[in-house]
Structure 1
Amino acid sequence: MPRAGRRVKQKLASPPTTDADAGTSTSDVAPWVPVAPTTTGLLALPVELFEMVLSDFEDISVGSIMQNPTTLPKEEGERMRVLRALSQTCKALRASCLPRVWERLEACIEHNDSAWYKQVSSRLERRCNGLADNPDLAKFVKIATVTLTRCSTQTVLDAFTKCLAVLPNLHTLQIVHTHSQMTTTLKNHFEGKSFPQIRNIILPSCAHNILRACPGVTSVTCNEDDGSKLVSAIRASCKGVVHVSGIRAEESIMKRLAKAAPNLREIHANACQVRVGYYRTLIVDPGDIKYLSVFKKLQRIVMIVGEEGDDEQIAGTCKLHVSAAQEALKESSAKDKEVVIHYSKCDSPRNVNWRRWSTVRTVHIKV
């Protein structure tokens, strides 16, 4: 029994020692305790400047997710690693950075040379269980970016669905990849469940049963196949969809989508080939764009153009697509209609085996 007035030492959790440990340590889900703001050091910077500093560190991008890889490269976890390290520096930085660390639930990045499917499955199960037991951290999660594998599917998907139900501020779900043979497994785990807080979702077509469990979704993006199965899920469960991307613009699919999402306001279509490495894009023929006229409330058609050809080729491609899009929008009763063109180019990443596209300029054409 300690003497009166003597301070009792408390054992503190040990921080992870390596990048690999940073993705697996139980200290990731330690309790968060707010502290008074500091007026010195790094946190004395205005929030805008602090965020500008953080923006220099690479983060997960939608462009990478749209490639539908099994996992994302380690470089895209740089920002999260920096934030995690800062959160273990002092109480003030922990109070400021831990909410940023847990803004995204991530289980899709390779951290070491072991089997990737074991890495991401183990990380997803562990983090989901930790968040389910820590409501103070669960409230920070706004985005979930995960890869679903066939490794330990029963325990992993049980933990994942349980976790999704206790994330009150989750608004975006991004499924980077899932095996095409998991359709029935996903149905068994997601059928009868509902996650109404999710508003935006990116997923492969084979994961359509996950979409059926998200009735509040307003934006749907397909990153694999033609998206036909997602149209069926939208019609069955998601009545408020107003934005779609990655769904093939062919007549039969567009007619079904018009019935499934009659209030559609915006649709994305890629106007020409921009494939490099594993980059996935959906090429739309100008003749197919006319099928978008079935959407009577469509306000915006967004097209992505890769700056890979000469100026004359790019201009010719754009002219045909823009003309077709303008004709399609004339059938809509919406106001302030426009065609938006994103000109994209390939970045030069640190990983030479990885390619990512970014928008270099945007043009708005009123209809």
Structure 2
Amino acid sequence: MPPNLRSKKVLTREELLAHQQAIRAGPVNTSGLPALPTELLLEIISYFPTIRVPATSARNVEVFPGIYLQRTKVLRTLSQTCKSLRGMFLPLSWERIEPCASDRVGNNRRSSTRAGIPRLWEKVLATDLVRQLEIVTIRNPSLASYVKVVNVILTTFSSDTVVPELARCLALLPNLHTFQILGTSTPGGAALSTFQAKTYPTVRTLVLPSSALAIAKSFPHITRLYSLSTPDRMIIPKVLLEWCTDLEEFHGFEKMEYWMRIDQWLPMIYHIVDKLTKIQVMILDVSNATLTVDVIKPLARLPALHRIELITHCNRLGHQSLKVSEITDAAKDVLRRPLSPDKDPVDRVFVLRFMDGVETMAIPPDTDGTPPNARARCPCEYCRDD
């Protein structure tokens, strides 16, 4: 039987109200730290390290070090100092739930363990996750509205109880806009399947390992999707063409097969253009054998596209292949398309990413010309009108 990670201490409603009234009844402190301007206090807090959103640079991080616990500890301590500081720091202290770090990383982290024996930090993270979720949903539900970001590292430790509890509690956070599953391992599909019965309409940014992309179906209104590794080719059409059609940018899909035929009709790139009409950013990888100039040209029909990034895998001063030059020219031509009369002008940007640097170029739109002719809609199941 998996261990019970839920705390046994629960305040009654009367005890909770009495505690809150006692805090409000105290005198307002107008000297010392509370007398500092709000902007200065926020500036001080900003120097504490936080887990980035998106944390794609941490895709190989097994568990974060204890330094990432400092910000939350300081904020929650300050929120209990006096009435003046509580109003500012209490919402900030619960803005992020991120049981991703452990003070015991240095002593207990191992590259491998005996089969079936979890590392100590795995239990620490699982227990901390359940504890924080319990606080904002059971002990003090008024805190749930403060939570905007949830960053978690999920392991196989008690995953059959921890993951369902996470799936349940996320639905109780009304202002949640970012959800990240980090780390180098994830629970099996049986545990993650508990997300399928839930929907999280407020989430706009989703960061997942490729092994967990199936839960993207429960986040129908995300605008930014990050896969920490290349997804399986069979799930890409479902994610991009069925589940997440409000996307404005998607990362980690640079190795997709653009010419893979969907439903025996047109290739993948044409379905992307038809279904993802809100796309603003496209990231392309020149090492993808299926990336050609013919893939770039249809992007001109994306009305909101204003940024194209090309990953080159070469040095800035090195020789650029003919393929890179041709794709670069084609991408710039796409960004030069005339402005739509019914939309506000947006700066068009082309980015070349080298192994040793980045070049960014502003691309002005053409002032004379006609928009590309609209192609007839594809009649396959992905592009057929509902």
Same fold, TM exceeding 0.5? yes
Shift in alpha-carbon separation, 1:314–1:336, aligned structure 2, 3 A: farther
Secondary structure class of the residue paired with 2:180: strand
Q: Which residue of 1 aligns with 2:78?
A: 86
Which residue, out of 242, 263, 268, partners 2:283?
268
Over the matched positions of the two proteins, sequence identity in percent amounts to 26
Shift in alpha-carbon separation, 1:284–1:96, aligned structure 2, 3 A: farther
Shift in alpha-carbon separation, 1:52–1:340, aligned structure 2, 3 A: farther
Cα deviation, residue 196, structure 1: 0.8
Q: Which residue of 2 aligns with 1:366?
A: 364
Shift in alpha-carbon separation, 1:214–1:284, aligned structure 2, 3 A: same
CA distance in 2, matches of 1:64, 1:109: 14
Cα deviation, residue 210, structure 1: 1.9
Shift in alpha-carbon separation, 1:224–1:289, aligned structure 2, 3 A: farther
Specify every segment of 5 or more residues in structure 2 that has no aligned partner in the other structure, as ranges.
1-6, 109-118, 261-267, 366-386
Secondary structure class of the residue paired with 1:49: helix
Cα deviation, residue 260, structure 1: 4.4
CA distance in 1, matches of 2:28, 2:318: 56
Shift in alpha-carbon separation, 1:286–1:234, aligned structure 2, 3 A: closer
Give, as a single letter, the amino acid of the residue that structure 1 aligns with 2:36. Answer: L
- After TM superposition, the score normalised by the length of structure 2 is 0.68
Matches within 5 A, 1:1-367: 33=20, 38-62=29-53, 64-68=55-59, 69-113=61-105, 114=108, 115=119, 116-133=121-138, 134-177=140-183, 179=185, 182-187=188-193, 189-226=194-231, 228=233, 229-248=235-254, 250-251=257-258, 252=260, 254-269=269-284, 288=292, 291-295=295-299, 296-297=301-302, 298-303=304-309, 309=315, 312-313=317-318, 322-329=328-335, 336=346, 338-341=348-351, 364-367=362-365
Cα deviation, residue 178, structure 1: 6.3
Cα deviation, residue 89, structure 1: 3.0
Deviation larger for 164-173 or 318-327: 318-327
Whether the 8 Å CA contact 2:336–2:363 is kept in 1: the answer is: no
Cα deviation, residue 185, structure 1: 2.7
Shift in alpha-carbon separation, 1:183–1:158, aligned structure 2, 3 A: closer
CA distance in 2, matches of 1:339, 1:244: 17
CA distance in 2, matches of 1:106, 1:336: 35
CA distance in 2, matches of 1:212, 1:140: 25
Whether the 8 Å CA contact 1:190–1:210 is kept in 2: the answer is: yes
Secondary structure class of the residue paired with 1:149: coil
Deviations 1:218-242 (A, max 9, x none): 2212122247435412423223222
Cα deviation, residue 101, structure 1: 1.2
Cα deviation, residue 83, structure 1: 1.7
CA distance in 1, matches of 2:55, 2:32: 35
Specify every segment of 5 or more residues in structure 1 that has no aligned partner in the other structure, as ranges.
1-23, 272-282, 347-358
Secondary structure class of the residue paired with 1:207: helix
Deviations 1:170-214 (A, max 9, x none): 011111136366234312x01121111111111122212221011
Deviations 1:46-65 (A, max 9, x none): 32222211122211113644
Shift in alpha-carbon separation, 1:208–1:344, aligned structure 2, 3 A: same
Whether the 8 Å CA contact 1:227–1:248 is kept in 2: the answer is: no
Q: Which residue of 2 aligns with 1:274?
A: none
Whether the 8 Å CA contact 1:219–1:244 is kept in 2: the answer is: yes
CA distance in 2, matches of 1:46, 1:71: 36
Q: Which residue of 1 aligns with 2:377?
A: none
CA distance in 2, matches of 1:52, 1:320: 46
Whether the 8 Å CA contact 2:155–2:187 is kept in 1: the answer is: no
Cα deviation, residue 216, structure 1: 1.8
- After TM superposition, the score normalised by the length of structure 1 is 0.71
Secondary structure class of the residue paired with 2:363: strand
Whether the 8 Å CA contact 1:227–1:247 is kept in 2: the answer is: no
Deviations 1:274-301 (A, max 9, x none): xxxxxxxxx6689557624333215222
Number of residues of Structure 1 aligned to a counterpart in Structure 2:
317
Deviations 1:21-71 (A, max 9, x none): xxx9989xx969585875432232332222211122211113644432332
Give, as a single letter, the amino acid of the residue that structure 2 aligns with 1:338. Answer: R
Give, as a single letter, the amino acid of the residue that structure 2 aligns with 1:341. Answer: V
Whether the 8 Å CA contact 1:148–1:175 is kept in 2: the answer is: yes
Whether the 8 Å CA contact 1:205–1:226 is kept in 2: the answer is: yes
Q: Which has the larger radius of gyration?
A: 2
Shift in alpha-carbon separation, 1:110–1:306, aligned structure 2, 3 A: farther
CA distance in 1, matches of 2:86, 2:358: 36
